Chain A
């Protein structure tokens, strides 16, 4: 037990955890050793656990139509794998195989949920860290997709984004009953939800306007209330749509989470009613530790996970036209976490 606690204390994902928290966590984790070549789970399997790699290493592979397999990442000691499927309750996104004799510590679905649900500053920190980790993974997949298009970033320049932002038509909040019936929100406490939904301003935007430009910082995070916003990668006259933000879906948050340029361009496909959260209210919500911030972090977390899953679909189409593994080196995956 002592060695497990010491290991957990070195895992980047758990940074900031108190000794007592790590001991409690160690008590619910299961230690397991697997042989080289052993499959820990297959893509599409029901997700039961996430893994901390204690010793050895695993590879993460994406199975594609046409009997193709692409190795997407290797996961080394101290890193985690399998958190995506636990976050959204979906099946494992990729297959995981031991590349050598490997020791893992498994954290089950219920214990993972409990770890994040506590009204404790460390739980908020873990939620923020997960949002950052999944954003990092999303960026890697988007970079890979963009690499398949070649050329330089195309489409609308940052000036058009500034013009769109300046021309937003601000309006009163929408009917609260409508918002609460959206699948994104109907499980949240109504008071905390409304606290989040009144943290920004509402605005109407015509179709065909660029709200976010790839390669430029976001001016705001947006939440679509009505209408639809396309998230696209544009290279010359070619584009890949990597997401469609309909009612209850957010966009523009990646840049505000990690301070890097936006990984996608966002253009209104339909006229839209949007909740606009500029940088300051976004950071207050993201870094807060109250019920309103919990709602906000959950909304962002669900969205980035859903967007990541969606990027795997066009990725499959792109990659299916390419030779089998490994994935091209132009898009190195972030080392801190693995999918699953």
Chain B
């Protein structure tokens, strides 16, 4: 289990998302409010796009396996960076000696030269049984780039493989279609291997100008009787968003101001504030897309049927 956050909109200090609100992403690493049985202590990563920076198409990248709440470098950087797009992730792993905590397993993933990045909240059950059946669906140049041990990095390679140019900047619609196609492939491979346990795949993809997000679970609600993840999956693979003008502090409380058309969007596993009144929950089986345009933020949600 993990926690993921994406921001798209007006330049916003990263600390306003990672540290300042009372349920900020960093707080969600050690005290998530919607996960009672798990913490997210297996590392932090973020990619941030700043149009005023050198090589603005390349995101600023920071990943570390240390705890973000004690990371002074991260805190200092978060006070200086004000990107128009951010993808950040705190990683949670099962309390098992099989879990691997290492740099190469940290989200968001970005292969060298790729313009699309991915962060994932969820896990594909019995992934080791299906991993190598995915090889035929992944382009060799991408399969060679997989460095870590996570299902998430394979999902990333699988989605990139569905794009006309895995190293280009796809249209938002193409990225959404590639994501949907990848989920269909995963469903068929799971079925071919007799894997039918509930497996959440909340995916966050971004190009720096657009985000594609899913709230989705394969075989929702199906668990073997002794399953250790039963209590964890059901309520906790959540997704929320706040959309409007700008994310700001007023009278001591962080909230999204009204904006028509909207100019800023935050999507996160949990609302960044304990007061949820300015947040909306993304329903299960949803594909969400958003794109920065000269006229504002184009935003859409649709049913995800794979």
Are A269 and B281 in contact, CB atoms less than 8 angstroms apart?
Answer: no
Which of B6-14, B77-85, B222-230 is found at the contact surface with chain A? Answer: B222-230
Are B242 and A247 in contact, CB atoms less than 8 angstroms apart?
Answer: no
Are B243 and A65 in contact, CB atoms less than 8 angstroms apart?
Answer: yes
Which of B140-148, B154-162, B271-279 is found at the contact surface with chain A? Answer: B271-279
Q: A65-B256, A244-B283 are in contact. Are A43 and B277 (CB under 8 A)?
A: yes
- Per-residue interface assignment for chain A, residues 19 to 60, with 1 indicating a CB less than 8 Å from any chain B CB and 0 otherwise: 000000000000000000000000110000000000000000
Q: Which residues of A contact B242 (CB under 8 A)?
A: 65
A178 to B230, CA, bound (A): 9
Q: Which of A66, A313, A317 contacts B258 (CB 8 A)?
A: A66
Q: Which residues of A contact B174 (CB under 8 A)?
A: none
Min CB distance A39 to B, Å, is 14
Closest-by-CB residue of A relative to B245 is A66
Are A181 and B220 in contact, CB atoms less than 8 angstroms apart?
Answer: no
- Per-residue interface assignment for chain A, residues 234 to 268, with 1 indicating a CB less than 8 Å from any chain B CB and 0 otherwise: 00000001001011100000000000000000000
A44 to B273, CA, bound (A): 11
A175 to B227, CA, bound (A): 12
Q: Which of A43, A175, A177, A226 contacts B222 (CB 8 A)?
A: A226
Q: Which residues of B contact A174 (CB under 8 A)?
A: 225
Q: A182-B230, A183-B234 are in contact. Are A67 and B258 (CB under 8 A)?
A: yes
Are A67 and B234 in contact, CB atoms less than 8 angstroms apart?
Answer: no
A145 to B225, CA, bound (A): 37
Min CB distance B223 to A, Å, is 7
Q: A65-B242, A177-B226, A270-B221 are in contact. Are A313 and B280 (CB under 8 A)?
A: yes
Q: Which residues of A contact B171 (CB under 8 A)?
A: none
Are A246 and B234 in contact, CB atoms less than 8 angstroms apart?
Answer: yes
Question: Does A307 sit at the interface, judged by CB under 8 A?
Answer: no
Q: Which residues of B contact A142 (CB under 8 A)?
A: none
Are B221 and A246 in contact, CB atoms less than 8 angstroms apart?
Answer: yes
Q: A174-B225, A313-B280 are in contact. Are A270 and B220 (CB under 8 A)?
A: yes
Are B223 and A247 in contact, CB atoms less than 8 angstroms apart?
Answer: yes
- Per-residue interface assignment for chain B, residues 244 to 284, with 1 indicating a CB less than 8 Å from any chain A CB and 0 otherwise: 10000000000011111000000000000011111111011
Min CB distance A208 to B, Å, is 10
Question: Does A63 sit at the interface, judged by CB under 8 A?
Answer: yes
Q: Which of B220, B243, B280, B281 contacts A228 (CB 8 A)?
A: B220
Which residues of A (191-234) have their CB < 8 Å from a CB of B?
A: 224, 226-228
A63 to B258, CA, bound (A): 13
Q: Which of B225, B256, B277 contacts A175 (CB 8 A)?
A: B225
Min CB distance A27 to B, Å, is 34
Q: Which residues of B contact A65 (CB under 8 A)?
A: 242-244, 256, 277-280
Question: Does A106 sit at the interface, judged by CB under 8 A?
Answer: no
A63 to B278, CA, bound (A): 8
Interface residues of B, count at CB 8 A: 32
A248 to B231, CA, bound (A): 11
Closest-by-CB residue of A relative to B281 is A313
Q: Which residues of A contact B243 (CB under 8 A)?
A: 65
Question: Does A131 sit at the interface, judged by CB under 8 A?
Answer: no
Closest-by-CB residue of B relative to A247 is B221
Question: Does B235 sit at the interface, judged by CB under 8 A?
Answer: yes
Question: Does A316 sit at the interface, judged by CB under 8 A?
Answer: yes
Question: Does B71 sit at the interface, judged by CB under 8 A?
Answer: no
Q: Which residues of B contact A317 (CB under 8 A)?
A: 280
Question: Does A153 sit at the interface, judged by CB under 8 A?
Answer: no
Q: Which residues of A contact B259 (CB under 8 A)?
A: 66
Question: Does A64 sit at the interface, judged by CB under 8 A?
Answer: yes
Are A226 and B221 in contact, CB atoms less than 8 angstroms apart?
Answer: yes
Min CB distance B191 to A, Å, is 12
Interface residues of A, count at CB 8 A: 30
A65 to B240, CA, bound (A): 12
Question: Does B60 sit at the interface, judged by CB under 8 A?
Answer: no
Question: Does A85 sit at the interface, judged by CB under 8 A?
Answer: no
Question: Does A272 sit at the interface, judged by CB under 8 A?
Answer: yes
Question: Does B111 sit at the interface, judged by CB under 8 A?
Answer: no
Are A181 and B280 in contact, CB atoms less than 8 angstroms apart?
Answer: no
Are B230 and A181 in contact, CB atoms less than 8 angstroms apart?
Answer: yes
A244 to B225, CA, bound (A): 21
Q: Which residues of B contact A178 (CB under 8 A)?
A: 223-227, 230
Are A183 and B281 in contact, CB atoms less than 8 angstroms apart?
Answer: no
Q: Which of A44, A175, A272 contacts B221 (CB 8 A)?
A: A272
Question: Does B62 sit at the interface, judged by CB under 8 A?
Answer: no
Question: Does B219 sit at the interface, judged by CB under 8 A?
Answer: yes
A43 to B255, CA, bound (A): 14
A219 to B283, CA, bound (A): 27
Are A66 and B221 in contact, CB atoms less than 8 angstroms apart?
Answer: no
- Per-residue interface assignment for chain A, residues 96 to 130, with 1 indicating a CB less than 8 Å from any chain B CB and 0 otherwise: 00000000000000000000000000000000000
Q: Which residues of A contact B274 (CB under 8 A)?
A: 44
Are A66 and B230 in contact, CB atoms less than 8 angstroms apart?
Answer: no
Q: Which residues of B contact A181 (CB under 8 A)?
A: 230-231
Q: Which residues of B contact A224 (CB under 8 A)?
A: 221
Question: Does B30 sit at the interface, judged by CB under 8 A?
Answer: no
A248 to B244, CA, bound (A): 35
Q: A65-B242, A65-B256, A178-B225 are in contact. Are A269 and B276 (CB under 8 A)?
A: no
6 pairs, CB–CB < 8 Å, chain A vs chain B: A177-B225, A182-B231, A182-B234, A183-B235, A228-B284, A244-B283
Give the 10 A-B residue pairs with the shortest CB-CB distance, closest first.
A175-B225, A178-B225, A66-B258, A44-B275, A246-B221, A228-B220, A63-B277, A227-B221, A228-B221, A65-B278
Q: A67-B258, A226-B223, A269-B220 are in contact. List 13 more A-B contacts (CB 8 A).
A: A44-B275, A66-B256, A66-B257, A66-B258, A178-B226, A224-B221, A227-B220, A227-B221, A244-B284, A246-B220, A247-B223, A269-B285, A313-B281
